[in-house]
Structure 1
Amino acid sequence: MTARSLADVEYNYKVINERIAEAAQKIGKKREDITFLAATKTVDAATINHAISLGLDHIGENRVQELLSKYEDYNLENCSLQFIGHLQTNKVRQIAGKVDLIQSVDSLKLAKEISKESKKRNITTDILVEVNIGREENKSGVFEEQLEELLCQIAELESISVRGLMTIPPICDNTRKIQKYFNNMHKLFIDISQKKLDNINMSILSMGMSADYYEAILEGANMVRVGSSLFGARNYT
């Protein structure tokens, strides 16, 4: 990254934090009540580390191979590394013990594999269960009517701990539509929380990305995953 690009990251980081604080204040919360996680797909480790030096304390990778390729270069002393993309069961062993949280668990099969690999390493892996709130065929995530059953099944597994829920709603052409999805997700989060299911800790609701994190916070998100608004447009070539 050039000096100009790093300066852009500094400016963007400041603006995002200000918008998070503003959204939080509107619903009676404080800035520190909202976790700002930087989605770091395609971003080089040096740029990620620069953002960490500014105070960023949560990063998330979407791809196992990319995470592994950067792993030794991350400055994680004061930063949580999480996995936020779709995770195949045959790749769980590659990241078990390397990430603090896996945000995209959407099946009992995947949860069992995380449990098995965590038990091997004598660790407990924190997870979020992914909900397909828009019921989109091309997206991963459990439908809301299947959520409670899946949570109860995961709760019986060893070496795995449910910390909350995550979602990626459909792309919407106006704010009202996206807020409806976020609101429905928050209601689901609260409903599960109030049932006080054994071994289920509903402390994290991860929703909202660069285009809609402000609206997500207004509707109850306490973790947002922001990538391009921080690092600029992605280069996937």
Structure 2
Amino acid sequence: MYDVAKNLHEVLDNIPDGVRLVAISKYHPNEYLEAAYAEGQRVFGESHEQELSQKVKTLPGDIQWHFIGHLQTNKVKYIAPYISMIEAVDSLKLLKEINKQAAKHDRVIDVLLELHIAEEETKYGLTPDACRELLEDGEWRGLKNVHISGLMMMASNTDDEAQIRKEMMTAADFFDEVKARYFASDPEFKERSWGMSHDYPLAIQCRSTMVRVGTAIFGPRVY
């Protein structure tokens, strides 16, 4: 087994106050999550509904579960009873479905809007223009069981640090625009979620408030 406790503290030592760690635990066994939990970690990220539902049943009840992958609308109903945050909302249709399912459980679910800034076709997300269009339309304001808490993005999968920095700063500047224009009166619109195991120190420099780190804590995934 990887020394999860040691790895976790090495990551935490590199994260300043004001930045939260989401420990990406997908494809890792319960004992790895339990080791991180024993060291105080409470926020974990999963991206497969069936795996997540098994972990929810068997792990401590005060864990905050973030859904981090691409989420299909027909899967929302399964996670709505317990999910703490859905990090990758890329359409009004998905936003409305989350609102509908959250209402059934008398919950308000926090979400992040996913931006597509990376120069890769494989990434999901809204272009900045599409994000502006969604927010300008205003239908989201009537959704009382979902709360838009910020933005998330994934930088290009490249070793070019300059390109990663450019993409993350584009997201950070866009966050400022959206905050001022649509969420100026909402102090809870504050999350900037970018940065993973290989680039989270750079993400923190680029004003990230939430980093998603898996491999650096838990080692290679166990498929």
Q: How high is the TM-score relative to the length of structure 1?
A: 0.88
Give yes or no for contact 1:118–1:124 (8 Å, CA) kept in 2.
yes
The residue number in structure 1 matching 2:12 is 17
- 2:27 counterpart (42, 45, 67): 42
Give yes or no for contact 1:155–1:161 (8 Å, CA) kept in 2.
no
Percentage of identical aligned residues: 34
Question: After superposition, what is the alpha-carbon deviation per residue over 1:175-198, rounded to whole angstroms, capped at 9, x for unaligned?
Answer: 111111111110001111112448
The residue number in structure 1 matching 2:43 is 58
Question: After superposition, what is the alpha-carbon deviation per residue over 1:73-115, rounded to whole angstroms, capped at 9, x for unaligned?
Answer: 12232x3111111100001000002111110110011111111
Query: Counterpart of 1:177 in structure 2: which amino acid?
Result: Q
Is 1:210 matched up with 2:197?
A: yes
How many residues end up aligned between the 2 structures? Answer: 220
Query: After the TM superposition, which residues 99-178 of structure 1 pair with which residues of structure 2 at under 5 Å, given as runs?
Result: 99-151=83-135, 152-178=138-164
In structure 2, the CA distance between the partners of 1:138 and 1:153, relative to structure 1 (3 Å rule), is farther
Query: Counterpart of 2:156 in structure 1: which amino acid?
Result: P
How far did 1:218 drift?
0.4
In structure 2, distance between residues paired with 1:178 and 1:198: 28
Cα RMSD for the two superposed structures = 1.6
Question: After superposition, what is the alpha-carbon deviation per residue over 1:160-186, rounded to whole angstroms, capped at 9, x for unaligned?
Answer: 110001111111222111111111110
Tell which has more relative contact order, 1 or 2 (C-alpha 8 A, sep 6+). 2
SS at match of 2:83: coil
Structure 1: gaps (5+ residues): 21-30
How far did 1:199 drift?
7.9
Deviation >3 Å, runs of 4+: 196-201
* Structure 1 or 2: more helix by fraction: 1
Q: Which range is displaced more, 84-93 or 142-151?
A: 142-151
In structure 2, distance between residues paired with 1:54 and 1:32: 17
Q: How high is the TM-score relative to the length of structure 2?
A: 0.93
